[in-house]
Amino acid sequence: MKLFLSGNEAIAFGLVEAGVRFLSGYPGTPSSEIMPTAVELKKRYGINGYYEWSVNEKSAMEEATAASYANIKSAVAFKQVGLNVAMDPFMNTALTGTPGGLVVVSADDPGPHSSQTEQDSRFLAFFAKIPVMDPSTPQEAYSFAKYALRLSKEFEIPVMIRTTTRISHSREDVDIDLHGFSEKAEPIFRKNTDRFAATPHFRYLLHKELNKKIEKIKQINKPKTYYDGDFLVITSGISFAYLYDIVETYNLQNKIKLLKFYMPYPIDSFGLQKIIDKHKKVLVVEESYPLIEMQIQNRKNVFGRIDKTIPNEGELIVDVLENVFQDLGIVNNTIKTEVVKPPFKRPSLCPGCGHRSAFFAVKKVFGTKAVYTGDIGCYTLGLNLKAVDTVHCMGASVSFAFGFDKAFMLGGNKQTVVATIGDSTFFHSGITPLINAVHNNSSFLLVILDNATVAMTGNQKTPQDVTDSYNNTANAVDIKKVVEGLGVEFVEVMDAYDIENEIELLKRAKQHIQDAKKPAVVILKHPCIYTKEGLETNIKYKKVYVDKDLCTGCKVCIDAFECPSLIFKNGKVEVDKVTCINCGQCVYSCPFDAIGVKQ
Amino acid sequence: MKLVILGIGGMGAISLSKTIAQIAMNKDMSVKSTEIHGMAKKGGLVEIYMKIGEGVSPYIPQGDADFAVVLDELYSEYAVSFLNKNGKLIMLSNNDKYEIVEEFGDAKFANSFILKKFIDKQNIITEDDALSVLKNIKQSEKNIEAFKRGAV
């Protein structure tokens, strides 16, 4: 039957139908829709499987590896930088192999649209020596998910599916089987310490095994040919779909021959060379790094990224490919108009977001001189309130605060350091560096912005939730108790909306880090108003208004509070009634008491 | 048919694209769409490309679209850049938006309003095709009312 599925939904359907009964992961754009789709399928078809978010990608990878050791068909799904977090177990799982089968879904984000890097996960498959599949459409994402698991099971090797934003977040009418939901999990662990607890000597032997597997897979990895022109274009993934459309649009059926690899690693380089040598001109087109290209032995007649025919950064979209085709003389030079960019509208925290109130209070107490280490989540947008100076990777707000504090101490720099992190990111990787801060007496303030959800990626649940993804009872992990348990002496909790008391609390925390030379933690809670419950339970005045007579047009509210519902018009501030949720938090920001609320 | 939809996070542009896809699928036509909505939830731009009855990839370069539906005046010029020389622009004006918020209580109903305006400008899908999908979505009565308000 046909369903209008996104690439991510299609991957989930494929994995579950192929018999995956253990799925773990951590939310991250553009991968986040895979898990919820599997959860829905489990609910709908009563599947005998464990599909649930983990606390971070490293844990997810290890949990899924163990499940595969227990002979369960397993999978993990996360974004490309999540794979970086999972690298340690990932490399090792390649060596030990996966008795039950294990598919690693890594979602890349060339552009990047919503990531720190535009790295190519396929290179990490190459690095670990495991096969990687590169789907061109959601339909292929579905069928590759099934094939990847079969291949993984057969060779007992993890198999990667590399998807990109344009596959994960594209939709099409996908033809699906809706089979395989009744397959039962049959766990059994056959002990083998030479393999599963291998010492370095045995690791060498496992490496030898891995090399044998990859050689065999190389031989079954055959590319598919489309069209029969003289100009050979080698490709895989989303680039194939673009190239196919370009050939059809420009009628290049007699000029181009497309050679498509569904598995861009491992490639039989000798076999490929024979094909290449039959052509005078060869172009390699792949998103995002030159993986197939680097497996080509003789690149004398080969155009691609290495000779800079194709740009080495940015998303490889149709517009870019059309330019490449013009430069190579494959299509005639048409007068292309300049690409129009959309007007820049900077992203902001939502109107009514508790994080904004928290940042506003932090800024009031710590001013412009403090160094603000930020983290990955909605609250990265504390940037707009000038309360974020660094953003690096998950959990780095805490370790950066430690690093700055210790570095400043070396030269007598008296700048205060304030770290901000969300609740989910704290669980993900903020706890470990806080242990270091406690043990080695680092004096900084850690503000945990607790909105009780993974807001940025679609409001997934966090470990402090009282229920799991199925709304069954789960054990809530209390952030305050965790922090106290680590030995932090100053830990207090407050509602982020209580700005006046919050300022007093932050002043006391500041005093503590100065006097005790130890870390302090302040947990500022407020439910995410992007959730239905958050919005419904939020304080709501009848009206928030600006008194035109009192407003001086100083724009302090717009600059320091930065709510998108405050707009500047004709020299005065107005409240945008389309977006305002009448929370009244902006009242605190006006130095002239010009913003008021009606009860 | 190549269609570009531009909206602002939280406005429901993706729901609009799904409604159009369902209408086309009910007519046994192939549908492909792609959406970029990274930071869009935070009031940023949501960009959706759709191909109905054509293509392998859903991507539409500028200057190639038959229709552009834009849900905010801010992006009208950007929307025009996607149109081919016979392309048609369907824009939700700020005034339309305010009126819809006043009357229906939520800007999201603008999607049904603009759907009618889009349908009136093309000849692949009919008003009845749209109504048969709209009657099965959430708050269908209000959406059908907003749809009818879209009649010029």
Terminal CA-CA length for chain B: 23
Question: In terms of residue numbers, what domain contains B17?
Answer: 2-149
- Which residues on chain A are in Cβ contact (under 8 Å) with B77? 340, 343
Q: What is the DSSP letter of A1?
A: -
Indicate the angle between helix axes A318-327 and A238-249, nearest 10 degrees: 60
Q: Do B43 and A317 touch (CB under 8 A)?
A: no
Pairing of strands A170-175, A132-133: unpaired
Global pTM value: 0.95
CATH assignment of the domain containing B141: 3.40.920.10
Query: Is CATH 3.30.420.310 what the domain over A354-537 is classified as, yes or no?
Result: no
How far apart are the C-alpha atoms of B35 and B14, rounded to whole Å? 8
Q: Are A220 and A159 in contact (CB under 8 A)?
A: no
How many Å separate Cα A571 from the centre of its chain? 41
Give the minimum alpha-carbon distance from A460 to chain B in angstroms, rounded to a whole number.
15
Q: Which residues, in sequence order, are bridge partners of residue A445?
A: A418, A520
pLDDT in tens, chain B (152 residues): 999 999 987 788 999 999 999 999 999 999 999 988 655 555 678 999 999 999 999 999 999 999 999 999 999 999 999 999 999 999 999 999 989 989 998 889 999 999 999 999 999 999 999 999 999 999 999 999 999 999 86
ipTM of the complex in this document: 0.91
Q: Where along chain A do its domains lie?
A: 2-220, 224-327, 354-537, 543-598
In total, how many domains does chain B have? 1
Terminal CA-CA length for chain A: 54
CA distances from A404 to A138, A388, A392 (A): 45, 14, 14
How far apart are the C-alpha atoms of A167 and B76, rounded to whole Å? 27
CATH number, domain A2-220, options 3.40.50.970, 2.60.40.10, 3.30.1490.20, 1.20.140.10: 3.40.50.970
What CATH class does A224-327 carry? alpha beta
Give the minimum alpha-carbon distance from B127 to chain A in angstroms, rounded to a whole number.
21
Nearest CB among A30, A170, A319 relative to B32 is that of A170
Pairing of strands A256-260, A231-235: parallel
Span of A20-29, A339-348, A521-530 with lowest mean pLDDT: A339-348
- Which residues on chain B are in Cβ contact (under 8 Å) with A349? 42
How far apart are the C-alpha atoms of A497 and A144, rounded to whole Å? 48
Nearest 10 degrees: Cα torsion A589, A590, A591, A596: -120
Q: What is the DSSP letter of A561?
A: I
What CATH class does A543-598 carry? alpha beta
- Asked whether the domain spanning A354-537 has the same topology as the one spanning A2-220, the reply is yes
CB neighbour burial string for A330-369, b if at least 16 within 10 angstroms, e if fewer: bbeeeeeeeeeeeeeeebbbbbbbbbbbbbbbbbbbbeee
How far apart are the C-alpha atoms of A423 and A375, rounded to whole Å? 11
Show the tokens assigned to B143: 């959406």
Nearest CA in chain A to B7: A342
Nearest CA in chain B to A458: B41
Chain segment A426-483, per-residue pLDDT in tens:
999 999 999 999 999 999 999 999 999 999 898 999 999 999 999 999 999 999 999 9
Q: Which residue shows structure tokens 């348990």?
A: A485
Q: Do B43 and A348 touch (CB under 8 A)?
A: yes
Nearest 10 degrees: Cα torsion A130, A131, A135, A138: -70
Phi then psi for A486, rounded to 5 degrees?
Answer: -75, -15
Kindly state the helix (H) or strand (E) to which residue A3 belongs, with its residue range.
strand A2-6
Chain segment A238-290, per-residue pLDDT in tens:
999 999 999 999 999 999 999 999 999 999 999 999 999 999 999 999 999 99
Q: What is the DSSP letter of A343?
A: P
